[in-house]
Amino acid sequence: MAKHEADYIKQETVTGAVPMLSRDRQYSFLDLFLTTSGFAIATWCYTQGAYVAQYLSFKQMLINIFCFNIVWISIECIPVLFAVRYGIDLWIWLRSVLGIKGVAIFATVISMANFGWYAVDSQLFASSMINLFAGLGIPLNAVVWKPVLGVFCVILGTLIALGGPSVIKWTNRFLVTALLFVGIVVVVLCFTAVPFSEINAVQADTSLYSTALGRFMLSAEGNVAFAFSWSTQALVMPRLAKTERSGYWATSVAYGVVAPFFVFAGGVMALAMFVRCGYYESDPTTMLATLCGPGFALLSLLMVAFANIGTQGTGSYVNCMIIKSGLPKISYRLLVILAMFYVSALTVWGWVMENFGKFISMAAYIQGPIIGMTVVDYLIVKKRKLSLKSVYFIKGHDSYRFTNGYNIVGLACLAISFVVTTLFVYNPVTATIQSNVFFITTGSGFTAVFGGFLYWLASISPLRKYMLRDRDDLDIV
């Protein structure tokens, strides 16, 4: 084999849809944990924390942030096990649930939505930088500098993404260790800057909803949507892990504990700001500078800069991989460059940042049914067995061609869940609760439960034959 062909195949394995063999795996538990955490730690965590902090008591905030994330992340990460075993990502498996064309469409749509997070990320980077420069006595015109600094953040992240998993691994190995340390310091400083008894005594804002349960579940809606936001991206990197154990725990602890810890830190800072200044603040640099003095400006600058750039890089890699699983012929580098222009445009536009709550809920309504169907398909319907030859369309193996490349059953379950939840449980666009079911499952949670239920129901109906054409084609298990 010519060297350039070998290089190309290596690139397609690491940054493409070719299955990764055991000998190709690069990531230990620590590597995957740090890389995933680097992806998970971004300043939008503080935005989320500040939002929740307003409406709940301290204890309820703590439970709301950690417990909803742990429940859903633990469940949605179960399919990490197939990602590690077969060296494939979620979207390759989803070819058997949605069909190859269904995956091409949803992989692209979801990644386009996911990139909205990176626009938020770069805007937070820009506003933090402007605040910090102002604190240092250098005022910057926000109209000019916000888009410039935001796009600068996107470009730096793109450079990391172009380096692939190896560069991402080494970038995050140092960054995340430092950031975790900084995060712990931040929480400790907040509790020492403002007495815990005063933070604990802050009365929840009741304007969100008239009952305590309503406020708790509306806050939970944000946290469930937050947990779901990782789902379609979470099962890309575990294919690099060396064992199922390291793949599962590194992924679930990063998304289920580390990310919520930074949401919690944001909540604590917002409460401390309220005690000190009488208003809630979500910009970590402003919070730290106010609570702990200008000496912490540098610390928060480093925290925000590194966190956002690291997230941009890892996020670009992951989402371009998702698109590639649906459109494998497009080169990874081209996708990363296109993503850079797209995220830059979103950053300058600013719509996602202005509609953050609606944005994460709407994205979760597409991701929720996919989570439910994936878990049910993996554990109950396909019983952890997939026809790898069919999923890669090897000649003579056509179990997953379905109807012209679309699995009508999977797509119908997704669409029905989306519509039913919006009409009868919770409308994320208008933020309207439609029924009491919301107070048990939240809207996003219902999409996952209902999507999984419908898919299971279909699998025990006459549609089973259509869904499970692969049972005589399970050569690799």
Which spans of this chain sit near other proteins (rule: CB under 8 A)?
Answer: 4-5, 8-9, 12-13, 16-19, 21-22, 25, 57, 59-60, 63-64, 66-68, 70-71, 74-75, 78, 81, 84-86, 212-213, 216-217, 220, 241-245, 247-249, 252, 256, 328-329, 388-389, 392, 394, 439, 475-476
Phi, psi of 27 (to 5 degrees): -105, 125
> What is the smallest separation between the CB atom of 66 and other proteins, expressed in angstroms?
7
Q: SS3 for 425?
A: coil
> What is the smallest separation between the CB atom of 302 and other proteins, expressed in angstroms?
32
Q: Which is nearer to other proteins, 117 or 446 (CB)?
A: 446
Q: Which is nearer to other proteins, 65 or 110 (CB)?
A: 65
Neighbours of 264 (CB within 10 A): 23
Q: Which is nearer to other proteins, 42 or 220 (CB)?
A: 220
Interatomic CA distance for residues 223 and 318, integer angstroms? 22
Q: Which is nearer to other proteins, 103 or 193 (CB)?
A: 103
Interatomic CA distance for residues 81 and 268, integer angstroms? 35
> What is the smallest separation between the CB atom of 122 and other proteins, expressed in angstroms?
31
> What is the smallest separation between the CB atom of 170 and other proteins, expressed in angstroms?
23
Convert 89-153 into a string of H (helix), E (strand) and C (coil): CHHHHCHHHHCHHHHHHHHHHHHHHHHHHHHHHHHHHHHHHHHHHHHCCCCCCHHHHHHHHHHHH
> What is the smallest separation between the CB atom of 58 and other proteins, expressed in angstroms?
10
> What is the smallest separation between the CB atom of 476 and other proteins, expressed in angstroms?
5
Neighbours of 460 (CB within 10 A): 10
Nearest to 383 by CA among 99, 73, 82, 89: 82
Dihedral, CA of residue 24, residue 27, residue 32 and residue 34, to nearest 10: -140
Give the distance between the most distant pair of CA atoms in the chain.
71
> What is the smallest separation between the CB atom of 62 and other proteins, expressed in angstroms?
9
Are the C-beta atoms of residues 144 and 126 closer than 8 Å to each other?
A: no
DSSP 323-342: HHHHSTTS-HHHHHHHHHHH
HSE value, Cβ hemisphere, 13 Å, CA-based, for 456? 13
> What is the smallest separation between the CB atom of 308 and other proteins, expressed in angstroms?
29
Q: Which is nearer to other proteins, 162 or 244 (CB)?
A: 244
Interatomic CA distance for residues 149 and 387, integer angstroms? 47
> What is the smallest separation between the CB atom of 9 and other proteins, expressed in angstroms?
5
Cα of first residue to Cα of last residue in the chain, in angstroms, is 29
Interatomic CA distance for residues 384 and 369, integer angstroms? 19
> What is the smallest separation between the CB atom of 255 and other proteins, expressed in angstroms?
13
Interatomic CA distance for residues 221 and 225, integer angstroms? 6
- Written as six digits, the tokens of 179 are 């950031």
Q: Which is nearer to other proteins, 59 or 465 (CB)?
A: 59
Interatomic CA distance for residues 212 and 55, integer angstroms? 9
Are the C-beta atoms of residues 399 and 180 closer than 8 Å to each other?
A: no
Q: Which is nearer to other proteins, 464 or 471 (CB)?
A: 471
User: Residues with Cβ < 8 Å from 102, sequence gap 6 or more?
Assistant: 94, 405, 406, 407, 410, 411
Q: Which is nearer to other proteins, 17 or 124 (CB)?
A: 17
Q: Which is nearer to other proteins, 313 or 452 (CB)?
A: 452
DSSP 271-299: HHHHHHHSS----HHHHHHHHH-TTHHHH
Q: Which is nearer to other proteins, 151 or 448 (CB)?
A: 448
> What is the smallest separation between the CB atom of 238 and other proteins, expressed in angstroms?
10
> What is the smallest separation between the CB atom of 37 and other proteins, expressed in angstroms?
17
Q: Which is nearer to other proteins, 5 or 462 (CB)?
A: 5
Q: Which is nearer to other proteins, 296 or 426 (CB)?
A: 426
